[in-house]
A = this chain, B = another copy of it.
Amino acid sequence: MTTMAVHVKIAQERESWFDEILRGALGVRADTKLASQLRLLATPLQLRRGEIAPLTLESNHLVAIASGATKLVGYASRDREQIVAFHFGGEILSIPADREHVYRLCALTDAQVFVFPEQVLFDCIEHDPSVLRRLLERMQTALFRCRDKALGLGRKSAQERLASFMLAMAERIGSRTAAPCVLDLPMSRRDIGDSLGLTIETVSRRFGELRALGVIETQGRSRVILRDREALGRLAGHV
């Protein structure tokens, strides 16, 4: 295949991803006027594993994840990171401009994303209530998840946090088919720690404990099999 052909193929793939995102995340059909407006508005970004999305920090952004997995990281200081959310393909998230703390979007795997300037996007969909509503509901989901996270960070033990984390991930990216749920975590132990407000060592120790209890099983670095979701729920403090 020629270089040209490769480029064309990538561009086409990008197009189809874009259309899918529009439909899935915002409920916008590809053949509408709004769709073409949004196409012009979007900055496509191809992120490599570990790469930080190069966003200007001057205004808010909305980012649609076409494919891949990402983490939204806040910095308490240079070397203290807190992951405030994970986002996967098909989701859309809001990234704040500079406040007291800086937030960055970082790719866990290679990822294709589309970046929108928030205000302009809002203006665009101003007269399309169904899209606005969809976005509102997404935002609400993110808020509810974030509250749960705050609850865990503030009041739960390391073990409870890890158990909660597993169950939450199982809901979002676990294999629906397999009876004992199989999880392929795209994030490292460090990421898990940064998400749960723990160190890698503590995460590892609690992992070992869950393994010893027979509640989970691990294969390699990233695969986790949930052997007993009931028990995991109890350990998570889900009353």
Contact = CB atoms under 8 A, between A and B. Distances in A.
Contacts of A103: 147
26 contacts: A60-B140, A75-B239, A76-B156, A76-B160, A77-B239, A78-B239, A80-B155, A80-B156, A81-B155, A82-B150, A85-B147, A96-B144, A96-B147, A100-B167, A100-B236, A101-B238, A102-B239, A103-B147, A126-B129, A127-B129, A136-B136, A136-B139, A139-B139, A139-B140, A142-B143, A143-B143
Contacts of A99: 144, 148
Interface centre among A60, A78, A136, A167 (most CB of B within 10 A): A136
Interface string A108-151: 00000000000000100111111011011001101110111111
Nearest to A152: B76
A54 interface: no
A84 interface: yes
Nearest to A100: B238
In the complex, the count of this chain's copies comes to 2
Given A94-B143, A132-B133, A76 B122 contact: no
Interface of A: 60, 72, 74-78, 80-82, 84-85, 94, 96, 99-103, 122, 125-130, 132-133, 135-136, 139-140, 142-144, 146-156, 160, 164, 167, 194, 196-197, 236-239
Contact of A143 (B82, B139, B196): B139
Given A60-B140, A126-B133, A154-B194, 13 more contacts: A76-B154, A76-B155, A77-B237, A81-B155, A82-B155, A96-B147, A100-B236, A100-B238, A102-B239, A126-B129, A139-B140, A153-B154, A153-B197
Interface centre among A85, A96, A164 (most CB of B within 10 A): A96
A104 B101 CA distance: 28
A163 to B, nearest CB: 11
Contacts of A77: 237, 239
A162 to B, nearest CB: 14
A226 to B, nearest CB: 15
Contacts of A156: 76, 80
Contacts of A150: 74, 82, 84, 146, 149-150, 153
Top 8 closest A-B pairs, CB basis? A154-B197, A153-B153, A76-B155, A74-B151, A146-B146, A82-B154, A132-B132, A84-B147
